[in-house]
Chains A and B, each alone.
Chain A
């Protein structure tokens, strides 16, 4: 290996290790500051309670509760001692930063929430035991529904049979056959009844309903290529775990004869049976005919599986950030949010089936929807309410007085030392990585930003880079101001490196590269330089008097060679 290549490898390798260790230390510093900030933020900034919710006819328009409701308290408003109105309650979890930072725990939690289980055969959307499951087989591209059914013989003996059915786009059969076709790249409606499964095939761009009860597959709406309504989730729309945020819709309640609170029945005049009280249900349509669909652009639709139509019913709101206005406009894309939940609300008539053991839902009415979204940084929550026609009727953000929670976390907790600490830690990062965070921080999925080591989407610069409220010039100036300490530090270190490089006799080219590298990479580059620089002891040049390297033929300051005294033979000789 020649010296130059060897030196280059040494410098790059040392630099990589130094950067990795340094970034890890800064990550720990940032996480510590963030956790302290979140814990010291007053609870009033972390909750949203709306009562009445505005989704129950006759209750009046939605109203935010003031004073705020504690996260562990109930959000209902009592209109009299025996009646309480419907409510929406949402809050940011205290442990949001801690949980999001631990990647391998998130990995396990995510696998449990996105689908039930997985093995070599495929993905199980329902699994009770080895004879009772709904599986999508990756290899065959078919749905497999296996279940046990019991029948009584004429002699009264009970026989259990295990049946298996395979479903493809072309139909259902008891044998896996290529004539059934293949499903590929599916989006499956979460937590639906396993026997009737609405799905979306991304390759075919088509909705299907797979019905194992009626043994048929219905091909539904087909979307054109590039249609903005292409779904990313169906059914129960939720991202994130309880460690990030929670959203609940609470139905109106009354006290029964025993003094227990029970759900208050709803009487609708436009119903076929106006004198019959209706129950409420959130998340999933009781009739299973309508499914909530979330599109890639953040808009929410209702898919009617009877006449196969998509109707817009709402969208994911953009939460506030530390630089934006209190209630930013616009629609948030799912990848830009750390967590979200969608709760469509339905009312229905409960009708007992003939067997008296189960019930059917009749005359289902859609009452509207509440949606909660948590910002990428995990510091602001926005809750919106939509009426049955998809019109926004109310919005509430986590805030108190004029401060949004995104601003309050850095300024209102009384712990500005942690804000300063986080700012200092962010400014110790290499300027080139800070600039990358500003320019492309929104290229990363929201949750991944909490585990970033090098490019920091959730730093102040990253948040500024995503902000659309500020004007372009304003944003650039503010970015330079935020990066100021980091740039000053880099320039100081680069000056030190340049001075040392001249002193130690580094070539001009090498000196320039080191200077440029130190300006770009800051403190890690300086540490790398100190670890990899030549360690020879310098000696005084007899010509210019400055320190020179003993391993070089010429002095790197004045160019003089080594002065070697002439060899003078002695006057004496050795004789026998």
Chain B
């Protein structure tokens, strides 16, 4: 399993590099803002998290789409199946690499924010629960984007894997603006993730290799 995951990371190194660049970029902005300005308030924190999430979502969506599309066109699973690897393991490894990419893209920014907030005195009291809630939502948001990419990627035509995720992501961004960082949006995102993963697994497990 570890070999499969490492293989997925190697195959998608471009996306991982983009996620790390994103993480570094936002970490620097967050760190500079919070440490040098010597103040913390929820407005800028929310906007930075949102910016990080929206940019990350495009990257992870394209990663999921690329993984499935390249598998279908390059017959990667067909080759791996000859090495006595089940489809279940391949799919789990793929999803695990997606989770790692999302964490790589967001955890550094979360960590930087946590450190900067602990080092600075807030101008006004800030409820960490709210900040955590926003980041958990952004994590779910990015992972949902990745799952949509997985679902749209397994298609023989070139348009669905390319445009499908890019049409769905504005809808999800719109949901955050409409619903705010509320619990019902978390519920919608979790449902979406479950449905996308089940659908993607069904399509992948029943497709002829």
Contacts and interface: CB of A to CB of B under 8 A. Distances in A.
B125 A24 contact: no
A21 B168 contact: yes
A266 to B, nearest CB: 39
**Chain B: number of interface residues, binned into ranges:** 35 or more
A104 to B, nearest CB: 4
**Chain A: number of interface residues, binned into ranges:** 20 to 34
Contact of A108 (B43, B195, B196): B43
A117 interface: yes
Interface string B50-78: 00000000000000000000000000000
Contacts of A104: 46, 176-177, 179-181
A20 B202 contact: no
B181 A24 contact: no
B171 A6 contact: no
Given A119-B126, A120-B127, A453 B202 contact: no
Q: Is the interface of A mostly helix, strand, loop or mixed?
A: helix
Given A14-B199, A16-B191, A451-B179, A24 B124 contact: no
A56 B35 CA distance: 55
B182 A120 contact: no
Interface in B159-209: 168, 171, 174-182, 188, 191-192, 195-196, 198-199, 201-203, 205-206
A111 B131 CA distance: 14
A66 interface: no
B171 A108 contact: no
Q: Is the interface of B mostly helix, strand, loop or mixed?
A: helix
Contact of A24 (B42, B127, B171, B199): B171
Interface in A10-34: 10, 12-14, 16-17, 20-21, 24, 27-28
B177 A102 contact: yes
A394 interface: no
B121 interface: yes
A130 interface: yes
B124 A117 contact: yes
Given A21-B171, A117-B125, A107 B202 contact: no
Interface in A106-131: 106-108, 111, 117-121, 124, 127, 130
Interface of B: 42-43, 46, 121-122, 124-130, 168, 171, 174-182, 188, 191-192, 195-196, 198-199, 201-203, 205-206
5 contacts: A6-B206, A12-B195, A16-B191, A103-B177, A119-B126
Interface of A: 1, 3, 6, 9-10, 12-14, 16-17, 20-21, 24, 27-28, 101-108, 111, 117-121, 124, 127, 130, 451, 453
Given A10-B203, A103-B182, A119-B126, 8 more contacts: A9-B199, A16-B192, A20-B192, A103-B180, A107-B181, A124-B125, A451-B178, A451-B180
